[in-house]
Structures are given as C-alpha cells and as structure tokens.
C-alpha cells in the first residue's frame, strides 16, 4: 500500500551550507511521528551546499538550479515535486523545535478551513520574533516608518501592522504569517495557485496569504509549534540591495491589490522614509570610526531608494536578479527589515 505523505518540507537555499545542515538535522529529528519528505531547492550556491546535501542527507530530494531563480520560483519548483497533504515552506536558517511540524499538521487537520498555518518564531536567544502581521497599506507604512509601534507597542492602533499588542499565547486568525515557517494545505494551493514569481524575493508570502484569504481560506497562527529563526542569513550578504528590494516588493503588493491612489501614496511614503533617514546617516559619516564607510554606503542606498520610489516599484526592485540572496531571507511584509 502506498504511503500517504503528511507533509513535504521545501527549503530554498543560497549559500547557507552550515546552517542548512543544522536545519535538516532538526527537520529529520523532529518529524519521527509523521510521514514526511524533504525537498531542497538550491539556487546556484557556490559554498558547497549541494555537495553537502548529497553526501550527508541522501534522503533529501535535491533540485540544483544553475542560476538563482528567486525565492518564489524556488518554492514553486519544490511544490511541483511535493507529494504531501501539506507543503511546509521552511527557511534554511531555522531550527525546528519540539515536534513543531507535527503540531502544525495536527492543528491543520483539526481546522480544515485553514489554508496556511504559522508558528511561534524565536531568536537564537529564545526571545520572540515578530511572526504575524497585517497586510501592507499606506496607513501601516506610515505608522511603521514613524516607529509608533515601538513607542506604543501595546496600543492596538499604533501596533497594528506588527500586532505588537498581542502576546502570541493563543491561536488566532491573522492576515500574514512569517514566511520562514509557512505550512500550506494542498487543496488551497490547487485552488489559489502557487507563489507569484514577480516578487522574486520579499512579500511573496504576503501576496499568497492575501490570495488565500480572498478565496475564503483562513491564515492561522499556532503558538504550540515553535522554531528558532536566525534571520537574514542570506540577505545580509547584500544588505543594501535588499533594503531596496523589500520596499519595491511592498509597493508591488500595493499596485497589485490596492487602488491607484493608495499605490501612489505608498510611493510617496517610501520616498519620505528614505529621505528623513539620510541626515542622520550623513551625521555618522562625520564621526571617524570604523563604521564610517558603512554609513556612507547607507546614505547612498537611501538616496537611491528616495529617487527610485518616485519611479514606483520598478525603481526599487533589483534588475540584476542572479546576485540576489534567495534562501534564508528576512520577513517579507514589513518595512522593519530595512532598518
């Protein structure tokens, strides 16, 4: 009798060999109670990631791309191979804790209206990371850019975009869950489709959650499932580029799902976001420290962002895509990753 797989774990990797190894060890160690397959999609790494997977994890289904196809495209590749009732998109810079995947499967089985199941996400020191968010909007961009959620974290209005007022101790329907752990029901994928590859990197899971909710499905946060997320393991390699890419992806989300007035307002707010931060970084260039060159780099990046935002999302999204890090990437839907 053919075994029915409970979950297919899809991991997109780009030059994160050592932490990918730790991730795979945790996945195999924490999925003993369910039928599981693991698919690694490597986006043309040059650090020996492919060789490591082939040698140390023969059970892994490995897809080795000859070019960096993007985070969304990489996950879509994995999904075409996946055989599980659920597909778990998992970042390579994560460690699965205490049966988190089994707990997510059990929750989704008990709640058939759920398309996407997210989990509690921790830093390496076990402090909580933001893992649930509202959809991008001009209002949320404004509140986030002004740091009002930091000044008033318990306020439901000021903390709305990152849901800072909520202690994450209970299950709840949300707009978006973190893309570092995103388990999706196969039937929902068949209805809504796979990720929009136009995003390439950042906000692709935000767009996907929006499409699931628009089709009548729920996106749920489950606190019992828990992982460690190191964060930005690939994106820190080209951090200035990623700051622009993130803003461009958010603007593309607005263009795709919001009206033209809100999209234009979003472009203005993005330009202002970069503009108001340039004087502070210019001041840092006057201080003779080792970080002086980094400060100049940030000034140049923010100046590019200010000018690029005036051209819309295309002015911020990176054109030379193969240089982009795709694998363990920062959370997509919030401007916070720019800071």
CA atoms of 333 and 312, how far apart (whole Å): 17
Q: Which pLDDT value is given to residue 237?
A: 43
256 pLDDT exceeds 90?
yes
307 pLDDT exceeds 50?
yes
CA atoms of 84 and 6, how far apart (whole Å): 5
Query: What distances in angstroms separate CA 115 from CA 85, 102, 275, one per listed residue?
Result: 11, 16, 39
Backbone angles phi, psi at 173, to 5 degrees: -75, 130
147 contacts: CB under 8 Å, gap ≥ 6: none
For residues 112 and 256, membership in a common domain is answered with no
User: Would 2 be classed as within a structural domain?
Assistant: no
CA atoms of 79 and 72, how far apart (whole Å): 10
For residues 191 and 325, membership in a common domain is answered with no
Q: Which pLDDT value is given to residue 2?
A: 57
For residues 137 and 242, membership in a common domain is answered with no
Using the 3D structure, point to which of 209, 229, 249 is the last residue of a domain.
Answer: 229
211 pLDDT exceeds 90?
yes
Pick the closest to residue 120 from 23, 205, 230, 226 (CA basis): 226
Q: pLDDT tens digit string along 312-337?
A: 988 887 644 434 444 444 433 343 33
User: Would 302 be classed as within a structural domain?
Assistant: yes
Q: Which pLDDT value is given to residue 234?
A: 44
For residues 146 and 264, membership in a common domain is answered with no
Residue 60 backbone class (left: φ over 0; alpha: ψ -120 to 50; beta: rest):
beta
Per DSSP, 128 falls in state B
Which CATH number belongs to the domain containing residue 56 in this structure?
Answer: 3.90.550.10
Q: Which pTM value belongs to this model?
A: 0.88
CA atoms of 181 and 227, how far apart (whole Å): 8
Higher pLDDT, 237 or 187: 187
Q: pLDDT tens digit string along 190-205?
A: 999 999 998 877 889 9
| 279, burial (CB in 10 Å: exposed 0-12, middle 13-18, buried 19+) | exposed
> Binning pLDDT at 50, 70 and 90, where does residue 70 land?
confident
Structure-block tokens of residue 248: 């461009």
Segment 33-41 shows an average pLDDT of 96
CA atoms of 38 and 60, how far apart (whole Å): 5
Domain span at residue 329? 235-338
Q: Which segment of 169-178, 267-276, 279-288 scores lowest on mean pLDDT? A: 279-288
User: Would 1 be classed as within a structural domain?
Assistant: no
What percent of the chain has a predicted confidence (pLDDT) above 90? 71
> Binning pLDDT at 50, 70 and 90, where does residue 339 land?
very low
Q: pLDDT tens digit string along 100-159?
A: 999 999 999 999 999 999 999 999 999 999 999 999 999 998 888 888 888 899 999 999
Pick the closest to residue 6 from 43, 26, 36 (CA basis): 36
Q: Which pLDDT value is given to residue 284?
A: 87
Q: Which pLDDT value is given to residue 3?
A: 66
Using the 3D structure, point to which of 165, 199, 229 is the last residue of a domain.
Answer: 229
> Binning pLDDT at 50, 70 and 90, where does residue 289 land?
confident
Q: Which pLDDT value is given to residue 4?
A: 85
Segment 6-32 shows an average pLDDT of 96
Q: Which pLDDT value is given to residue 333?
A: 38
User: Would 118 be classed as within a structural domain?
Assistant: yes
Q: Which pLDDT value is given to residue 40?
A: 98
Using the 3D structure, point to which of 229, 248, 279 is the last residue of a domain.
Answer: 229
Task: Report the domain count for the chain.
Answer: 2
Pick the closest to residue 174 from 182, 95, 224 (CA basis): 182
For residues 156 and 248, membership in a common domain is answered with no
For residues 68 and 185, membership in a common domain is answered with yes
CA atoms of 4 and 103, how far apart (whole Å): 18
Segment 229-236 shows an average pLDDT of 62
For residues 222 and 257, membership in a common domain is answered with no
Pick the closest to residue 228 from 39, 41, 327, 91 (CA basis): 91
For residues 258 and 293, membership in a common domain is answered with yes
For residues 163 and 299, membership in a common domain is answered with no
For residues 149 and 205, membership in a common domain is answered with yes
For residues 103 and 242, membership in a common domain is answered with no
CA atoms of 316 and 325, how far apart (whole Å): 16
For residues 255 and 207, membership in a common domain is answered with no
């Amino acid at each position: 009798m053919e075994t029915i797989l409970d979950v297919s774990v899809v991991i997109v990797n780009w030059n994160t060999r050592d932490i990918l190894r730790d991730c795979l060890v945790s996945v195999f160690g924490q999925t003993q109670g369910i039928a599981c397959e693991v698919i690694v999609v490597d986006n043309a790494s040059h650090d020996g990631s492919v060789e490591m997977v082939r040698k140390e994890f023969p059970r892994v289904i490995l897809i080795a791309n000859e070019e960096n196809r993007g985070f969304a495209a990489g996950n879509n590749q994995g999904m075409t191979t996946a055989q599980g009732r659920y597909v778990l998109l998992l970042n390579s810079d994560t460690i699965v804790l205490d049966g988190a995947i089994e707990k997510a499967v059990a929750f989704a089985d008990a709640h058939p209206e759920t398309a996407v199941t997210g989990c509690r996400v921790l830093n390496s020191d076990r402090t909580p990371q933001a893992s649930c968010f509202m959809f991008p909007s001009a209002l949320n961009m404004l509140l986030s850019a002004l740091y009002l959620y930091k000044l008033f974290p318990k306020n439901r209005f000021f903390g709305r975009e990152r849901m800072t007022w909520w202690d994450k101790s209970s299950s709840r329907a949300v707009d978006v869950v973190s893309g570092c752990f995103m388990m999706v029901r196969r039937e929902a994928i068949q209805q809504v489709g796979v990720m929009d590859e136009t995003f390439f990197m950042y906000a692709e899971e935000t767009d996907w959650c929006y499409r699931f909710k628009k089709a009548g499905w729920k996106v749920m946060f489950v606190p019992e499932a828990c992982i460690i997320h190191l964060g930005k393991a690939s994106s820190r390699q080209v951090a200035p580029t990623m700051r622009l890419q993130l803003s461009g992806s958010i603007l593309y989300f607005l263009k795709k799902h919001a009206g033209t007035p809100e999209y234009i307002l979003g472009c203005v707010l993005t330009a202002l976001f970069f503009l108001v931060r340039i004087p502070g970084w210019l001041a840092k260039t006057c201080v003779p420290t080792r970080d002086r060159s980094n400060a100049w780099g940030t000034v140049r990046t923010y100046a590019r962002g200010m000018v690029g935002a005036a051209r819309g999302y295309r002015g911020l999204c990176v054109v030379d895509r193969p240089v982009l890090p795709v694998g363990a990437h920062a959370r997509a839907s919030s401007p916070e990753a720019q800071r």
